[in-house]
Amino acid sequence: MRYFMKWLCICLLIPTAKATTFDLVDETTRVVGHNLVVFSRAEDTLLDIARRFDVGYNEIVGANPGVDVWLPGAGQRVLVPNRFILPDTEKVGVVINLAEMRLYYYPKPEAGQSRQVITHPIGIGREGWQTPLGKTKIIQKRKDPTWTPPASIHAEHLANGDPLPKVVPAGPNNPLGAFAMRLGMPGYLLHGTNKPYGVGLRVSHGCIRLFPEDIEHLFGIVPLNASVEIVYQPYKAAMHQNKLYVESHEIYEDMHIEKNNMTPMVEAILKTQDSLSDDDWLFAQSMVEQHLGVAQPVDQLANDVIEDVWFIHAGMGNKTKIKLNDALATMNLENSFWPLNGAAGEVLIGPFDSQQQANDVGEQIMGLTGKPVWTTLVPADVL
């Protein structure tokens, strides 16, 4: 099993946009997803791995201190922070937390369907060009947008010897990418980018950048006039399965919150739980000091964040794959579908919280497809 898992994670995967969609059990749900581990290939950078899992630069680097960003090397263990504590906001429309550089979208549920949250990493305004906080809405959507740089950006580029045209046409050289959604805040957009490495960094003039595939996904599902709330919450805490989870992100000095100040974390915890043991408070303090950006239960060591989760590994031909897609739709599991890159006809389905849950789903899938489907259970703790 250990050998198989290493092979699996080296060959892994480009998740679809659905892999960043999570069901909300009820209105109180604030912890979603699972942290995962993969092993890098010789040609991988941390940024390659991050994009496969829809994770930004800041998230993958913060979760893997000491790992070389550009040359992690073959077989390097890489933590993918794919568990999220939702921001402490109303679960409506688009919510953007600048502190973690991540966007959350809460679509209106269809009749009979559970509520969901869709999340993607973002790039935001650099120091001196901060992305503003506040509530607004989507007032315009445009495919293949042109860009008319404001006078301040013209002046900046001119001073750097890189003059801009009055209007930058749509195309590969347009920094807005192929899709843009204008906010009610004058001058600010949610948009794609022709420089994907900027997702997860503070490099823009205040606008919010997404990976090209992510903005295309959102452009198709976020309606005009959808509400948008932009917050700055570097410390988050929430209960999940009777455990307290905490998450701490790097502090931006220009946001006027003192580094390693425990007060915001204490406030976040006390909103969730009245009291903690001395050991748990020490753990929370270590989280503040490390700024890993990883959601962790307080009863684990800071570097022990992988929980026992299970996948079904299925191999099949094209005809069975069509039946599998139908079966997943019937079982409302489309968002648990992870295609394996470099392994034709093979997929991962999951993750599941227990071996029994994975077994039960595997039996249902075999019943609905009408053919035996090869399945392998993959516990995360063997990594």
**DSSP 8-state secondary structure symbol assigned to residue 229:** E
Contact 299, 271 (CB under 8 A): no
Tell me the two tokens of residue 167: 């209007």
- Which one of 191, 217, 249, 313 is the catalytic residue? 191
191 is catalytic: yes
Listing DSSP states for 93-142 in one string gives: EEEEETTTTEEEEEPPPPTTPPPEEEEEE-BEEPTTSPPPPEEEEEEEEE
Measured between alpha carbons, how far is 341 from 363 in angstroms, rounded to an integer? 25
Q: Would the CA dihedral through 269, 275, 279, 282 be positive or negative?
A: positive
Measured between alpha carbons, how far is 47 from 196 in angstroms, rounded to an integer? 10
Measured between alpha carbons, how far is 295 from 237 in angstroms, rounded to an integer? 9
Distance from the first to the final alpha carbon of the chain: 10
Listing DSSP states for 38-84 in one string gives: EE--TT--HHHHHHHTT--HHHHHHHSTTS-SS---TT-EEEE--EE
Measured between alpha carbons, how far is 24 from 9 in angstroms, rounded to an integer? 28
Measured between alpha carbons, how far is 380 from 5 in angstroms, rounded to an integer? 9
Tell me the two tokens of residue 176: 């807005």
205 is catalytic: no
- Which one of 207, 249, 291, 313 is the catalytic residue? 207
Catalytic residue list: 191, 207
